[in-house]
């Protein structure tokens, strides 16, 4: 799957590299392009969060009223969001896109011969030549199996005689500018560099640490803003707050396992995300949020609830039916109750199917949609 994502990303990266002739600059420009594409989604996400902050007093009242009934509390919260025209799924695209792109970038970074230099057919013979040479010198390369292309580039530049039977391959690899600001983007960050603490080794080792600093800064900024915007919700997050601080720590461990190119991309992405978030926070002052809230409320109410809201409503309808003892079907008036021990497996399956159909019909009537063509001919108001 991630290879399929890497194909268009590799095409974009190759196009940028053909212009700037620097792998580091290519990653930098690529990161900025991706971040620019996520600005609308990030903005919508922050607007939705700001609008939810305006509902903090009402949400606090709901939590207090239904503290002993979590299901009812969730239903009332969703009802409030619907009344205020807040789409809970709004802004999720940015988070999903960031993760998907990261996985695709990982493939591009560890396979530059395939995606940047387009030397895919030369990888197999080059790998065999390198393995033979390494065995003859009794040298072990830890990442040869996992990242053969990066190891091939390393030796094609330092020991080109290994690939003497592939002169064109060596020429193209030698011209590949994969260093940036003094460090090799195909290198591996480590706290025990083989050649000692050279400038390049120091820069490599600093990448995961800088990623951690950027991400922890992002977490602190977001948490402070959330406490200011919606203090009660911030307090109820509990263990989630701890996870938000543990994730940056995990990035250090991942950073020392990943090649420098991926660390470099993640660092650029984290810094640009932090700057973008700070800019949006500054733009969304209280006065502007109130104006935006009224406009978005009218717009969202006219548009209707999103698919996530409808799915949650349908789920709530089904739970209510089960809790209320079942349903009556127009025509045969058969009632199935949750406690009916005499119900066969086939009857239970039929009951569940009718329960889903009832929820679908109610959702369609509630939102003014066309009724499902395959729905049963019973009235949803007959569901007790």
DSSP state for residue 22 in the 8-state scheme: -
Residues 130 and 155 sit within 8 Å (Cβ to Cβ): yes
What is the pairing mode between strands 335-336 and 179-180? Answer: unpaired
The answer to whether residue 166 sits within a structural domain is no
In the chain, the number of structural domains is 2
Please indicate, yes or no, whether residues 219 and 97 belong to a single structural domain of this protein.
yes
3-state secondary structure of 327: strand
CB atoms closer than 10 angstroms to residue 162: 20
pLDDT for residue 53: 81
Please indicate, yes or no, whether residues 104 and 11 belong to a single structural domain of this protein.
yes
- The CA distance from 363 to 361, in Å, is 5
Residues 53 and 230 sit within 8 Å (Cβ to Cβ): yes
Beta bridge pairs of residue 336? 327
Please indicate, yes or no, whether residues 97 and 229 belong to a single structural domain of this protein.
yes
- The CA distance from 75 to 82, in Å, is 10
3-state secondary structure of 180: strand
Beta bridge pairs of residue 184? 179
pLDDT for residue 15: 94
Please indicate, yes or no, whether residues 295 and 309 belong to a single structural domain of this protein.
no
Question: Exposed/middle/buried for 104, CB within 10 Å: 0-12, 13-18, 19+?
Answer: buried
The answer to whether residue 332 sits within a structural domain is yes
The answer to whether residue 130 sits within a structural domain is no
Which of 265, 299, 333 delimits the end of a domain? 299
Q: Calculate helix-pair angle for 260-283, 199-229, nearest 10 degrees.
A: 30
Please indicate, yes or no, whether residues 245 and 339 belong to a single structural domain of this protein.
no
DSSP secondary structure string, 62-97? HHHHTTT-HHHHHHHHHHHHHHTT--TTTTHHHHHH
pLDDT for residue 52: 80
Which of 299, 324, 350 delimits the end of a domain? 299
- The CA distance from 131 to 345, in Å, is 60
The answer to whether residue 82 sits within a structural domain is yes
| Residue length of the chain | 384
Beta bridge pairs of residue 328? 335
Q: Which two tokens stand for residue 146?
A: 């996992």
Q: Which two tokens stand for residue 328?
A: 């009556």
Beta bridge pairs of residue 183? 180
What's the domain range around 371? 305-382
Nearest CA among 271, 292, 18, 138 for reference residue 10: 18
The answer to whether residue 127 sits within a structural domain is no
**DSSP element (H, E) containing 335:** strand 335-336
Please indicate, yes or no, whether residues 314 and 294 belong to a single structural domain of this protein.
no
Please indicate, yes or no, whether residues 225 and 295 belong to a single structural domain of this protein.
yes
The answer to whether residue 101 sits within a structural domain is yes
Query: Does the predicted TM-score (pTM) go above 0.85?
Result: no
- The CA distance from 167 to 148, in Å, is 19
What is the full per-residue pLDDT of the chain (384 aa) written as tens digits? 667 788 888 899 999 999 999 999 999 999 999 888 888 888 888 888 888 888 888 888 888 888 888 888 888 888 887 777 776 655 565 667 777 777 888 888 889 999 999 999 999 999 999 999 999 999 888 888 888 999 999 999 999 999 999 999 999 999 999 888 888 888 889 998 887 888 888 989 999 999 999 999 998 998 888 777 766 655 555 556 677 778 888 889 989 988 999 899 999 999 999 999 999 999 988 888 888 888 877 776 666 555 555 665 656 655 655 555 544 444 433 444 444 456 677 777 777 777 777 767 766 665 555 655 554 544 444 444
**Could you tell me the CA-to-CA distances from 252 to 62, 190, 303, 342 in Å, in that order?**
40, 11, 44, 57
Phi, psi of 179 (to 5 degrees): -105, 150
Q: Which two tokens stand for residue 310?
A: 């409808």
Please indicate, yes or no, whether residues 93 and 223 belong to a single structural domain of this protein.
yes
The answer to whether residue 190 sits within a structural domain is no
Please indicate, yes or no, whether residues 15 and 107 belong to a single structural domain of this protein.
yes
How many helices, marked H, and strands, marked E, lie in the chain?
A: 16, 4
Please indicate, yes or no, whether residues 23 and 77 belong to a single structural domain of this protein.
yes
Which of 264, 299, 334 delimits the end of a domain? 299
Please indicate, yes or no, whether residues 280 and 362 belong to a single structural domain of this protein.
no
- The CA distance from 383 to 158, in Å, is 76
DSSP state for residue 369 in the 8-state scheme: P
Please indicate, yes or no, whether residues 80 and 22 belong to a single structural domain of this protein.
yes
């Amino acid at each position: 799957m991630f290879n399929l994502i890497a194909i268009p990303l590799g095409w974009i990266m190759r196009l940028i590299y053909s212009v700037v002739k620097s792998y580091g600059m290519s990653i930098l420009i690529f990161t900025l392009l991706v971040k620019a594409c996520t600005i609308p989604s990030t903005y919508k996400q922050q607007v939705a969060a700001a609008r939810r902050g305006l509902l903090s007093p009402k949400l606090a009242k709901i939590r207090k009223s239904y503290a002993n009934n979590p299901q009812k509390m969730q239903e009332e919260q969703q009802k409030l969001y619907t009344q205020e025209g807040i789409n809970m799924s709004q802004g999720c695209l940015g988070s999903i896109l960031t993760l998907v792109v990261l996985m695709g970038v990982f493939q591009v970074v560890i396979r530059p011969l395939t995606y940047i230099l387009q030397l895919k057919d030369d990888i197999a013979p080059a790998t065999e030549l390198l393995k033979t040479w390494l065995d003859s010198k009794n040298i072990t390369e830890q990442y040869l199996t996992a990242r053969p292309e990066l190891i091939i580039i390393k030796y094609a530049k330092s020991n080109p005689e290994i690939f003497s039977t592939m002169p064109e391959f060596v020429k193209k690899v030698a011209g590949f500018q994969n260093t940036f600001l003094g460090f090799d983007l195909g290198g591996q960050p480590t706290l025990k560099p083989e050649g000692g603490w050279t400038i390049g080794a120091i820069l490599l080792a600093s990448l995961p640490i800088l990623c951690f600093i950027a991400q922890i800064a992002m977490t602190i900024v977001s948490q402070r803003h959330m406490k200011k915007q919606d203090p009660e919700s911030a307090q109820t997050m509990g263990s989630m707050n701890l996870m938000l601080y543990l994730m940056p720590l995990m990035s250090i461990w991942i950073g020392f396992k990943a090649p420098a190119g991926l660390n470099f991309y993640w660092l650029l992405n984290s810094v640009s995300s932090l700057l973008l978030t700070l800019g949006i926070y500054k733009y969304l002052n209280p006065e502007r949020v109130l104006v935006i809230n009224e406009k978005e409320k009218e717009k969202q109410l006219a548009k209707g609830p999103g698919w996530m809201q409808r799915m949650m409503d349908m789920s709530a309808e089904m739970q209510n039916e089960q809790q209320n003892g079942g349903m009556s079907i127009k025509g045969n008036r058969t009632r199935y109750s949750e406690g009916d021990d005499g119900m066969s497996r086939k009857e239970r399956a039929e009951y569940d199917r009718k329960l889903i159909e009832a929820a679908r019909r109610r959702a369609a009537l509630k939102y003014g949609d066309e009724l499902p063509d395959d729905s049963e001919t019973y009235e949803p108001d007959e569901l007790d």
